[in-house]
Amino acid sequence: MNALRPHLLSAVLVATVSLQAADWPRWLGPNGDNRAPAAGKLPGDVSKWTVAWKADVGRGYAAIAVAGTRAYTLGHDGQGKETVVCLDAGSGAVVWRHSYPAELLPKMHGGGPNATPTIHGDRVLTVSKDGQVFCLGADKGNVVWQAKLTDLGLPLPQWGFGSSPVVDGSRVLLAAGRVVALDLATGKSLWQSAEQHPGYATAVPFRRGDRAFVAALDGKGLSVLTAEEGKEVVRRPFKAMFDVTASTPYVLEDGRKLFVSGNTSAELLEFDGTALNPVWASTEVKTALNNAVLADGAIYAVDGRQGTAARFVSVRLADGKVNWAHAGFGYGTVIGVGSELLALTEGGELVAVKASPESYQELGRQQVLGKTCWTTPVFAGDRIFVRNDRGEAVCLKAP
């Protein structure tokens, strides 16, 4: 990507498969920009990719995080137990499980955990649907520490907790209206921001010049906080239908601009260190349950319009004007892989598309899952990892 690339802080063997491409160790990938580096085998014609393995990981929407030879995700058994599961990334065999009582919370959807695991060194950080936070050993799944967001004063959001853990130096950031910073080593609460309406987007630490900030999108607006104390620097209202803000903000141009999107509109904002000022606002891109891909002056997103109006859309980053739109994706998801886009439709079709602002150029598609698929695909170790809300996980390999 060019200078508009999001600026966010932050050869091993699997069975007989060489993992040459980078890991995908957290929500939105290794650099927090929803993109995999261009190393390894790009998806291309995904109709020719074959299934390496399948696994049952339990009900829910947590994406699969991959680090080295391991893949991690969460799922619920539908009875009263949630599980963090660690799989061998090459074979799909279970390495370890960590289970605990947890609520399913199936309100207007299948229920189960929303947040994606974060692998940081030898630790795995997870958040359950009902707000239980675990820091586990990545090797064996032993509990290093645990906390509960409701015990820290965060009310349970209407559709459960959805923010994935973010490591910012020695802190772990979690968001659900207010942002909570926990000590990475102990889980002790370090600070909390002012209470806001619960939301589902993940917090984003960033720098502008020599100052450190956190961007947090909640159910009613966007707050920029100081990273050391969680004090609000500036706030901008942002409306979303049913107060569902699930898309993580992007920080651009070394903290000078922020891009936010929800289920009714998107905005590009300028940030001067003290104020947020609009560059443009548009209703042409609405990332209801997913994040966009920003590449070379364009935004690519599955626009979450209901029914047949759902579409894959590209808009210009400079002014929000539409480049092209293609129907038929539902509440799907998309990531970037090198010069390509890898989308998963709500109905379970994996689709590869060229990242071109000129036109929609499909490179191939394959039905890989049954619906409902609201969870982003992952590209790591030259493999593609996908799942649906019923807990069917599939790993695909290149031909």
Please report the pLDDT score of residue 21 as a whole number: 52
**Domain segments of the chain as ranges:** 12-397
What single letter denotes the amino acid at residue 154?
A: L
Q: In terms of C-beta distances under 8 Å and separation of at least 24 residues, what long-range contacts does 140-146 make, across chains too?
A: 140/96, 141/84, 141/86, 141/96, 141/97, 141/98, 143/98, 144/187, 145/186, 145/187, 146/187
Average pLDDT over residues 107-126: 95
Q: pLDDT tens digits, residue range 38-56? A: 777 889 999 999 999 999 9
Please report the pLDDT score of residue 371 as a whole number: 86
In the chain, the percentage of residues whose pLDDT exceeds 70 is: 93
CATH architecture assigned to 12-397: 7 Propeller (2.130)
Please give the mean pLDDT across all residues of the chain.
92
Q: In this structure, are strands 35-36 and 322-327 parallel, antiparallel, or unpaired?
A: unpaired
Q: Which range is least confidently modeled, 6-15, 85-94, 99-108, 248-257?
A: 6-15
Q: pLDDT tens digits, residue range 323-370? A: 999 988 988 999 999 999 999 999 999 999 999 999 999 999 999 999
Asked if residues 129 and 161 have their Cβ atoms less than 8 Å apart, the reply is yes
Asked if residues 370 and 350 have their Cβ atoms less than 8 Å apart, the reply is no
Please report the pLDDT score of residue 22 as a whole number: 86
Alpha-carbon span 32 to 7, nearest angstrom: 8
Please report the pLDDT score of residue 12 as a whole number: 31
Name the H helices within the chain: none
Alpha-carbon span 355 to 235, nearest angstrom: 33
Using CA atoms, how far residue 282 sits from 250, 266, 331, in Å, is 16, 5, 19
Which sign does the torsion angle of CA 33, 307, 344, 75 carry? positive
Using CA atoms, how far residue 50 sits from 211, 349, 368, 375, 397, in Å, is 47, 14, 9, 20, 6
pLDDT surpasses 60 at 171: yes
Burial class of residue 90, CB neighbours in 10 A (0-12, 13-18, 19+): buried
State the pTM of this model: 0.93
